[in-house]
Chains A and B, each alone.
Chain A
Amino acid sequence: MESGAPAAGGFTSVVSRRSRRKRRAGGEQPAGAAMDTAEPRPCKRPAFPPVAAEALGVGKGELRKIPVPANRYTPLKENWMKIFTPIVEHLQLQIRFNLKTRNVEIKTCQETKDLSALTKAADFVKAFILGFQVEDALALIRLDDLFLESFEVTDVKPLKGDHLSRAIGRIAGKGGKTKFTIENVTRTRIVLADTKIHILGSFQNIKMARTAICNLILGSPPSKVYGNIRAVASRAAERF
């Protein structure tokens, strides 16, 4: 589009976009233009300037809050150094424990390079709060494909009273023997919190552990469960 003839003669002068933008930037009004002087004609395509590198990474101070139950308060205090060191040093996040709300708050800052760091940190803290050891929970930060699964004993089979207690006892075993065996064979970590069960590990391993625990809940003896998980685990190990 070329700028047209002046208004004389009834012709509307059509101004080129580029020139219009320049004028707008410069704050001038096109001289002798027949168009509306009130507002410039809107562009059809929105113009986005190239995104700044900083903007891509992290939003402006995203915040995650993880509530802490009372029973985990003391362990949190004891392991605070171990918790906050990898978060701050490796993930470059800001972490604090809000005493009033009893929340662990994690926030991104300008040094944060990776947007997924916040999620990892939140998961790590959550895992610790659930009952896992710090070293075990640390695996969540180090490895991408670890997951956390939780379910209840009563989800598997509706048990009440003594039956429920016996089921929990079966899962745990004498001195935690059965639980450790399952952990060792399937390379997972299990937290048995009364009726809640939390499993931490990779997807396949979680599945194996879950099957074993469900079998125990449903009533099969531990030796049988050992045999099964052993067979499954050996097959899985052979595959890789």
Chain B
Amino acid sequence: MFRFRRRDTTARKRGGQSSAGGTPVCGTPVCGTPVCGTLAAAAEPAGPERGAAAEAEPGPRVRGAMAAVPGLPGLPGLPALPGIQGIRTCLRVAGAAAARPECFLSVQDGLAADFRAMTKTLYDLNKGSNIVRGGPLKELVIEKFDEEQIWQQLELQNNAVLDFFKKSIARDAEDEDLCLLSDQEEDGSDAEASSDKELEDNIMEAETEQINVYTKDEEKAKTKAKEKQSKLRESIMQKYSDEDSDIDFDIEALEQQAKTAKETTLRKKGRKSVVDDKFFKLAEMEAFLEHAEKEEKEKEEEEEDDINYFEDIISDDDKDLEEAKVKPIKSSRDMTYKDFFDPVDDDGDDDLVANDAEEDQEEEADSAIEEQNEGSMSEFEDMDEMVEHMRSKEASKKVTFNVPDDSETEDVAEGQLEKGISPSEVKSSFEKRQEKMSKKIKSLEEALLEEKPWQLKGEVTGQKRPENSLLEETVLFDHAVRMAPVITEETTFQLEDLIKQRILDEAWDDVVPKEKPKEEAFDYKKRISLDHEKSKLSLAEIYEQEYMKLHQQKTEEEENPEHKEIQEMMDSLFQKLDALCNFHFTPKPPVPEIKIVSNLPAISMEEVAPVAVSDAALLAPEEIKEKNKAGDVKTDAEKTPTDKKRELRRKKLRKRMKRKEKEKRQKLLEKMKPEQGTKLSKKAAAAKLKRLTKEGKASLLKDEGKDKALKSSQAFFSQLQDQVRMQIKDASKLKKKQKKEKAISVHKLKL
């Protein structure tokens, strides 16, 4: 499909492009002019550099023609034929052009014109010989025709001669006298650049051959044709791939490479390994494995490709036909050894080697080319390899799996050819789906059989998995600890909103101070007291009472309001009556005006105590005053130092509190009534006294220590005695001094 697409679209385009005067897209030496296929046919055997093998195909006519051309290298003297001169010139021109492929890097208008002329010549030559009944056109018109039109003319011609070519190929393929030229030469010729038309014709030939191949079901024809085909295709594809890939590479270098590679591999593959024997060849096994891998790869790629609507369906059938070669004629019960295996023949070794060599070369060529042209080529290569594979198998192998015998199917195949194409070409959608399904199943099964990746194996330690592979995995595990909350903008906004709302609501989370519950007297009494007697009530009655209590709590005793009124009125009436009879009455027992409904246990209610006594008197001493924390009351002698200190502390505390209270009161009083305040306060009085003494209104009486002595009577009398003696002394002294001094200061007299 790929090939045809190319041929249809790209080749023509390129032909058109390049001949329109533009530069060739790639650097490959491609001439833009269409060249008649016959030129190629004519030219190729002439020169070893010529392109793909159409040498056998045109048959004896061309050979004859070729033989007729004198002077051409490599050919014996040929009889002159009409038009030979034209051919000769053409050859010369082409050879000259090909000799300098570097010219093709740029547009060669002159060469283009030459080639065009050549085309016409060859076409007319072809037309002249009546061997092949060609198309409607008698001659090729090239004046003022562009490439597209010339191509179309040629196509007309080619379509017509297709049948003839088919038959001739078939015939030649059967013909055992014909032998193929050596691979080296062929490959070498492949590698060389030739004209575009040559390529196209090669393709055409390939196509025809291929059609022959696919429609027929004979292997020999196929193999030989395929071989040629493969060569063609290789060359074609090589060139096309070159065009398409836009890679500028040297074909001659490539050719050299291929040759050298071939030679080396030839030696390598020809070598026999230790395990080889009559039935088994290691090299073959390897080849088979490679082939299988490529097939797989090709299958994958085929699946990926989109459907090409312009492709011929032949290519699809190609593989199927090749794979489904089974045309069992015998039933499975009747199969014998010779149906499966070739007759054991020891003389076939040489052939084997030769064949191997050939096959190897072919394979190598294929592989070499495949390396260059990847992807797009794979399909072709696969087919090529398959072709070679089959061919090598059938050609004098010891052990092969040729299920259908060639001899049997050959004749049948031709007949089946024409029929065979149409039904197998078109596959029903169901079949396609089935195929896809089976492929999928296969792939899944293989995946299941393979070793599982480390992720799917159970417990994997560090050694069993690649380094740092866990970093790329997302692992799920349970968190033992609650993750810390991530603080984002939203969370802060939420918090702030909450705070604002709380402030507005004034719903603070203030700590409520706990209070120690103080046990009240009633609670003390409510505690269950133990009764050591046998209960007077039976169990049933106890439960009954409980039940009643539970259910009758709701129904409170509601006195009829009318009763209340009546009672009050009666009371007042009786009071008045008593007053009338001067209060000579026995007072009725004091009924409490307020009815207290108490929820006390019966024991507390049953206490025998006078009704008039207050509840306070009923209380026990402990209920009135709590016991001292320290314990019992102690005398001073019994008190321990801690007790004393405790008491002192208490006392100080009390005093402090009192003082504080007093000051507070004083302050308050000062503020309210200033005069009274000053009277009482000590500070104020001291300040007043000082002021007065300074002013002189008052004087302080100094205490000369006389008062101290008056504590005891002895002291008093002695002091008195002293005083008197002093007075006497003074008096006597005074008499003496009085005369001297009479000035007595006031101060001295002050006592």
- Kindly specify which of B50-58, B294-302, B322-330, B527-535 makes contact with the partner chain: B527-535
Bound-state Cα–Cα, A200 to B530, Å:
20
Is B539 an interface residue when CB atoms closer than 8 A count as contact?
yes
Q: Whose C-beta in chain B lies nearest to the C-beta of A233?
A: B528
Query: Which residues of chain A come closer than 8 Å to B550, judged between CB atoms?
Result: 240
Chain B min CB distance to A236 (Å): 10
Known: A184-B531, A226-B530, A234-B527. Contact between A135 and B541, CB under 8 A? yes
Query: Which residues of chain B come closer than 8 Å to A107, judged between CB atoms?
Result: none
Mask of B366-399 contacts with A, CB within 8 angstroms, 1/0: 0000000000000000000000000000000000
Interface size on B, residues (CB 8 A): 17
Query: Which residues of chain A come closer than 8 Å to B535, judged between CB atoms?
Result: 180, 183-184
Contact A181 B531 (CB under 8 A): yes
Is B586 an interface residue when CB atoms closer than 8 A count as contact?
no
Chain A min CB distance to B366 (Å): 78
Query: Which residues of chain B come closer than 8 Å to A240, judged between CB atoms?
Result: 550
Chain B min CB distance to A126 (Å): 15
A-B contact count (CB 8 A): 56
Within 8 Å by CB of B539, from A139, A177, A226, lies A139
- Kindly specify which of A40-48, A90-98, A185-193, A209-217 makes contact with the partner chain: A185-193
Query: Which residues of chain A come closer than 8 Å to B546, judged between CB atoms?
Result: 187
Is A142 an interface residue when CB atoms closer than 8 A count as contact?
yes
Chain B min CB distance to A48 (Å): 42
Contact B538 A138 (CB under 8 A): yes
Bound-state Cα–Cα, A142 to B544, Å:
9
- Give the residue among B528, B530, B531, B535 with the most A Cβ atoms within 10 A: B530
Contact B527 A143 (CB under 8 A): no
CB proximity to B under 8 Å, residues A137-187: 138-139, 142-143, 146, 176-177, 180-181, 183-185, 187
Contact A180 B531 (CB under 8 A): yes
Contact A201 B528 (CB under 8 A): no
Is A123 an interface residue when CB atoms closer than 8 A count as contact?
no
Chain B min CB distance to A88 (Å): 18
Is A237 an interface residue when CB atoms closer than 8 A count as contact?
yes
Is B480 an interface residue when CB atoms closer than 8 A count as contact?
no
Is B96 an interface residue when CB atoms closer than 8 A count as contact?
no
Is A133 an interface residue when CB atoms closer than 8 A count as contact?
yes
Contact A136 B534 (CB under 8 A): no
Bound-state Cα–Cα, A181 to B533, Å:
7
Is A65 an interface residue when CB atoms closer than 8 A count as contact?
no
Chain A min CB distance to B529 (Å): 9
Query: Which residues of chain B come closer than 8 Å to A64, judged between CB atoms?
Result: none
Bound-state Cα–Cα, A136 to B536, Å:
11
Query: Which residues of chain B come closer than 8 Å to A189, judged between CB atoms?
Result: 539
Bound-state Cα–Cα, A99 to B528, Å:
47
Mask of A196-220 contacts with B, CB within 8 angstroms, 1/0: 0000110000000000000000000
Interface residues on A, range: 20 to 34
- Give the residue among B527, B531, B532, B542 with the most A Cβ atoms within 10 A: B532
Contact B534 A135 (CB under 8 A): no
Contact A200 B539 (CB under 8 A): yes
Contact A180 B538 (CB under 8 A): no
Is B522 an interface residue when CB atoms closer than 8 A count as contact?
no
Is A230 an interface residue when CB atoms closer than 8 A count as contact?
yes
Q: Whose C-beta in chain A lies nearest to the C-beta of B530?
A: A181
Contact A133 B538 (CB under 8 A): yes
Contact B531 A135 (CB under 8 A): no
Chain B min CB distance to A226 (Å): 6
Contact A142 B540 (CB under 8 A): yes
Bound-state Cα–Cα, A3 to B641, Å:
118
Within 8 Å by CB of A176, from B534, B538, B539, B540, lies B534
Bound-state Cα–Cα, A143 to B540, Å:
8
Is B454 an interface residue when CB atoms closer than 8 A count as contact?
no
Is B340 an interface residue when CB atoms closer than 8 A count as contact?
no
Bound-state Cα–Cα, A68 to B528, Å:
39
Chain A min CB distance to B666 (Å): 52
Is B543 an interface residue when CB atoms closer than 8 A count as contact?
yes
Q: Whose C-beta in chain A lies nearest to the C-beta of B531?
A: A184
Contact A135 B539 (CB under 8 A): yes
Chain B min CB distance to A57 (Å): 26
Mask of A217-238 contacts with B, CB within 8 angstroms, 1/0: 0000000001000100110010
CB proximity to A under 8 Å, residues B610-638: none
Bound-state Cα–Cα, A143 to B547, Å:
11
Contact B538 A136 (CB under 8 A): yes
Bound-state Cα–Cα, A233 to B530, Å:
11
Q: Whose C-beta in chain A lies nearest to the C-beta of B546?
A: A187
Query: Which residues of chain B come closer than 8 Å to A237, judged between CB atoms?
Result: 528
Chain A min CB distance to B520 (Å): 15
Contact B528 A234 (CB under 8 A): yes
Within 8 Å by CB of B543, from A143, A184, A185, lies A143
Q: Whose C-beta in chain A lies nearest to the C-beta of B601?
A: A237
Bound-state Cα–Cα, A51 to B541, Å:
40
Known: A180-B534, A180-B535, A184-B535. Contact between A135 and B540, CB under 8 A? yes
Q: Whose C-beta in chain A lies nearest to the C-beta of B526?
A: A234
Within 8 Å by CB of B532, from A181, A188, A234, lies A181
Query: Which residues of chain A come closer than 8 Å to B544, judged between CB atoms?
Result: 142
Q: Whose C-beta in chain A lies nearest to the C-beta of B527?
A: A234
Within 8 Å by CB of A136, from B528, B530, B533, B539, lies B539
Bound-state Cα–Cα, A123 to B528, Å:
32
Within 8 Å by CB of B530, from A139, A142, A184, A201, lies A184
Q: Whose C-beta in chain A lies nearest to the C-beta of B533?
A: A180
Contact B538 A135 (CB under 8 A): yes
Bound-state Cα–Cα, A146 to B539, Å:
10
Bound-state Cα–Cα, A140 to B623, Å:
43
Bound-state Cα–Cα, A240 to B547, Å:
12
Bound-state Cα–Cα, A178 to B535, Å:
12
Contact A177 B532 (CB under 8 A): yes
Mask of B541-582 contacts with A, CB within 8 angstroms, 1/0: 111101000100000000000000000000000000000000
Mask of B452-496 contacts with A, CB within 8 angstroms, 1/0: 000000000000000000000000000000000000000000000
CB proximity to B under 8 Å, residues A8-46: none
Chain A min CB distance to B544 (Å): 8
Bound-state Cα–Cα, A230 to B532, Å:
13
Query: Which residues of chain B come closer than 8 Å to A133, judged between CB atoms?
Result: 538
- Give the residue among B527, B535, B540, B546 with the most A Cβ atoms within 10 A: B540
Contact B532 A180 (CB under 8 A): yes
Bound-state Cα–Cα, A199 to B377, Å:
101
Bound-state Cα–Cα, A185 to B538, Å:
14
CB proximity to A under 8 Å, residues B500-544: 527-528, 530-535, 538-544
Chain A min CB distance to B547 (Å): 9
Bound-state Cα–Cα, A191 to B535, Å:
14
Bound-state Cα–Cα, A176 to B543, Å:
22
Contact B532 A187 (CB under 8 A): no
Query: Which residues of chain A come closer than 8 Å to B538, judged between CB atoms?
Result: 133, 135-136, 138-139
Q: Whose C-beta in chain B lies nearest to the C-beta of A173?
A: B532
Contact A188 B539 (CB under 8 A): yes
Please list the residues of chain A having a beta carbon within 8 angstroms of any beta carbon in chain B: 133, 135-136, 138-139, 142-143, 146, 176-177, 180-181, 183-185, 187-189, 200-201, 226, 230, 233-234, 237, 240
Please list the residues of chain B having a beta carbon within 8 angstroms of any beta carbon in chain A: 527-528, 530-535, 538-544, 546, 550
Known: A143-B543, A184-B533; 14 extra A-B contacts, CB below 8 A, are A133-B538, A135-B539, A135-B540, A139-B540, A142-B540, A146-B543, A180-B531, A181-B530, A181-B531, A181-B532, A185-B528, A188-B539, A200-B539, A226-B530
Of all A-B residue pairs in the complex, the 8 with the closest CB atoms, nearest first, are: A135-B538, A139-B540, A136-B539, A177-B532, A139-B539, A184-B531, A180-B534, A138-B540
Q: Can you show 25 pairs from A to B with CB atoms below 8 A apart?
A: A133-B538, A136-B538, A136-B539, A136-B540, A138-B538, A138-B540, A139-B543, A142-B544, A143-B540, A146-B543, A176-B534, A180-B531, A181-B530, A181-B532, A183-B534, A183-B535, A184-B531, A184-B533, A185-B528, A185-B530, A187-B539, A187-B543, A230-B527, A230-B528, A237-B528
